[in-house]
């Protein structure tokens, strides 16, 4: 086991994943940054994290809609850094449409990226964590892993599914110093949420401000977006020794949404 811990964060070139990668690096982890493209900008994200925090950081291209690439990402991280201690399954996409009009290819992509990828990366990570003497799996679910909203059938199904995967993995590995938990954010202002605004404006026939206030933050009692830093701090906590007995559960960061 290497002295410094290694963390893989899927979908970490922007939004929540980037904030988690940055926060884990600040906590001393070497980091594998991932997305499905292979641009200079992608590699620059990893270089900036390494520079900011004095850790090693590497960009590995892997498309989370492809099972073999999910597994290769984990293997590549262990090969590069010698171990794997933390896996954060964060990559996710969204599509908003009534269920009877929901495009089949969008359904398949959301289930693959938001749910099945976590199965593949986790399966590949377990033997490596076992070898390292323990580990942490953190799945970025959503308030939509606990409750539904209209027009998001695939997303809600995938996020409910990942809560089930979280519980199952936790039970299977409970005696091996490997924990598995989920984080359930409410609305966080990231590129993914920005991209939903036009669809929501169309679906609800509202202007931007109204859709943000009355639709998106309608269920979030604080009427404020969650920040990426708040989600990242929770992920770092779940990866810490203090969280060793937190297992198979979820942490909601939703301004009170699911208290209703
Ligand atoms: P984002 O669009 O900013 O980031 C998503 C990341 O995933 C990007 O780095 C993107 O490149 C990557 N990605 C997309 N498809 C991929 C693929 N096929 N293979 C590899 N990487 C891929 O989105 P975000 O808002 O930061 O969302 C991150 C996670 O948080 C998602 O799982 C999302 O469902 C969840 N979440 C977001 C919110 C929110 O309000 N933003 C709320 C709850 C949960």
Residue 65 DSSP SS3: coil
Indicate the top mutation candidate among 12, 14, 16 to test ligand 1's pocket, ranked by most ligand atoms within 8 A of CB.
16
57 lies in some domain: yes
- CATH number of the domain that 181 lies in? 3.40.50.720
Residue 191 Cβ inside 6 Å of ligand 1? The answer reads yes
Question: What is the band of 1 on the pLDDT scale with cuts at 50, 70, 90?
Answer: very low
Give 170-205 pLDDT, tens digit per residue.
Answer: 999 999 999 999 999 999 989 878 888 899 899 999
Question: What is the band of 240 on the pLDDT scale with cuts at 50, 70, 90?
Answer: very high
So what's the pLDDT on residue 2? 42
Question: What is the band of 3 on the pLDDT scale with cuts at 50, 70, 90?
Answer: low
Indicate the top mutation candidate among 190, 216, 250, 255 to test ligand 1's pocket, ranked by most ligand atoms within 8 A of CB.
190
Angle between helices 104-111 and 153-173 (to 10 degrees): 20
Instruction: Quote the percentage of the chain above a pLDDT of 90.
Output: 91
Domain count, the chain: 1
**Rounded to the nearest whole angstrom, what is the distance from the C-alpha of residue 174 to the centroid of ligand 1?**
28
Q: Supply the range of the domain harboring residue 12.
A: 6-186+227-253
Residue 187 Cβ inside 6 Å of ligand 1? The answer reads yes
Across the range 151-168, mean pLDDT stands at 98
Residue 102 Cβ inside 6 Å of ligand 1? The answer reads no
For the CA of 109, the closest atom of ligand 1 is 18
Reply yes or no on whether 187 is catalytic.
Answer: no
Q: Which of 76-80, 139-143, 155-159, 211-215 has the lowest mean pLDDT?
A: 211-215
162 lies in some domain: yes
User: What span, in angstroms and rounded, lies between the C-alpha atoms of 178 and 211?
Assistant: 41
So what's the pLDDT on residue 40? 98
Give 101-134 pLDDT, tens digit per residue.
Answer: 999 999 999 999 999 999 999 999 999 999 999 9
For the CA of 193, the closest atom of ligand 1 is 41
Q: Which helix (H) or strand (E) holds 182?
A: strand 178-185
Give 130-152 pLDDT, tens digit per residue.
Answer: 999 999 999 999 999 999 999 99
So what's the pLDDT on residue 155? 98
Indicate the top mutation candidate among 9, 13, 15 to test ligand 1's pocket, ranked by most ligand atoms within 8 A of CB.
15
Residue 142 Cβ inside 6 Å of ligand 1? The answer reads yes
Taking the CA atoms of 105, 88, 231 and 38 in sequence, report the sign of the dihedral they define. Answer: negative
131 lies in some domain: yes
**Structural contact between residues 56 and 31, judged by C-beta atoms closer than 8 angstroms:** yes
222 lies in some domain: no
Q: HSE (CB half, 13 Å, CA atoms) of 99?
A: 8
Residue 252 Cβ inside 6 Å of ligand 1? The answer reads no
219 lies in some domain: no
197 lies in some domain: no
């Amino acid at each position: 086991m290497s002295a410094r811990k290694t963390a893989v964060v899927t979908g970490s070139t922007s939004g929540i994943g980037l904030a988690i990668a940055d926060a884990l690096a600040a906590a001393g982890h070497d980091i594998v940054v991932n997305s499905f493209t292979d641009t200079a900008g992608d590699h620059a994200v990893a270089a900036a994290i390494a520079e900011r925090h004095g850790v090693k950081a590497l960009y590995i291209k892997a498309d989370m809609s492809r099972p073999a690439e999910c597994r290769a990402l984990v293997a590549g991280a262990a090969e590069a850094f010698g171990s794997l201690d933390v896996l954060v399954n964060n990559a996710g996409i969204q599509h908003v449409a009534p269920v009877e009009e929901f495009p089949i290819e969008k359904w398949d992509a959301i289930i693959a990226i938001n749910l099945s990828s976590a199965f593949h990366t986790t399966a590949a990570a377990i033997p490596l964590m076992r070898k390292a003497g323990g580990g942490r799996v953190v799945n970025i679910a959503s308030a939509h892993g606990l409750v539904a909203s209209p027009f998001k059938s695939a997303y809600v199904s995938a996020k409910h599914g990942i809560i089930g995967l979280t519980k199952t993995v936790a039970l299977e590995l409970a005696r091996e110093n490997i924990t598995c938990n989920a984080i359930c954010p409410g609305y966080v202002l990231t590129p993914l949420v920005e991209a939903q605004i036009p669809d929501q404006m169309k679906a609800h026939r509202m202007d931007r401000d109204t859709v943000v206030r009355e639709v998106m933050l309608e269920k979030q009692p604080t009427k404020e977006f969650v920040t990426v830093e708040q989600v990242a701090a929770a992920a770092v906590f779940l990866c810490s020794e203090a969280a060793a007995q937190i297992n198979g559960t979820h942490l909601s960061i939703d301004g009170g949404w699911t208290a209703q």
